[in-house]
């Protein structure tokens, strides 16, 4: 017999749910950040610390914007709702996508940060390759056009020389014939 998610969770004690939730937050590869109503950091998980290259002592009690280089928490709070953002921090060479949302019945906002640095690097590399390919194609077209013009000039010169020579020959034959 298959149990629904609700039935399974009802069989767990509150302590078990808290333990599992803590384990999930501590082991997720995504950064988790909790801020108070002033957007001051109250909690971060290990993935957040790794992603943003900082320690608990550096971040706790400090404004979130100092580390994530974005005012996304302030914007979410001002609107009183959830917010999805995509940001980058060039000095750390990190790009992330974040989901910012309020915790129901609390004066806290949570942010879940997904590191998309590799995706962004691959996208940038692809765009660079595309730009290089277009530049090379333009160079090849320019060289082909130049070669075609040179060939046309040579053909024009030799055609003109041939015409002059044939005209002289024709006039010589005409003079002999008279």
Give pLDDT tens digits for 106-162: 889 999 999 999 999 999 999 999 999 999 999 999 999 999 999 988 888 888 888
Please state the rounded mean pLDDT for residues 40-44. 96
CB atoms within 10 A of CB 79: 9
In this predicted structure, what is the pLDDT of residue 1? Answer: 43
For residue 7, is pLDDT > 80? no
Segment 72-94, tens digit of pLDDT:
999 999 988 899 999 999 888 89
Average pLDDT over residues 55-64: 92
Q: For residue 10, what pLDDT band results from cuts at 50, 70 and 90?
A: low
Torsion of CA 148, 150, 154, 159, to 10 degrees: 50
- In the prediction, which pLDDT does 36 show? 95
* pTM: predicted TM-score of the whole model, two decimal places: 0.70
CA distance 37 to 73: 9
């Amino acid at each position: 017999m298959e149990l629904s998610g609700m039935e399974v969770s009802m069989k767990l004690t509150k302590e078990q749910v808290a333990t599992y939730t803590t384990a999930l937050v501590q082991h997720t590869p995504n950064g988790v950040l909790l801020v108070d109503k002033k957007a001051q950091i109250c909690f971060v998980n290990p993935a957040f610390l790794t992603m943003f290259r900082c320690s608990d002592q550096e971040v706790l009690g400090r404004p979130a914007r100092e580390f994530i280089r974005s005012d996304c928490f302030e914007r979410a709070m001002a609107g009183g709702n959830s917010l999805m953002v995509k940001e980058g921090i060039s000095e750390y060479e990190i790009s992330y996508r974040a989901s910012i949302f309020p915790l129901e019945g609390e004066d806290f906002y949570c942010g879940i940060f997904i590191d998309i640095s590799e995706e962004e690097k691959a996208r940038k590399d692809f765009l660079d390759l595309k730009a290089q390919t277009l530049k090379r194609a333009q160079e090849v077209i320019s060289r082909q056009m130049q070669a075609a013009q040179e060939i046309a000039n040579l053909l024009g010169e030799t055609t003109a020389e041939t015409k002059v020579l044939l005209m002289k020959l024709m006039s010589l034959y005409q003079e002999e014939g008279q």
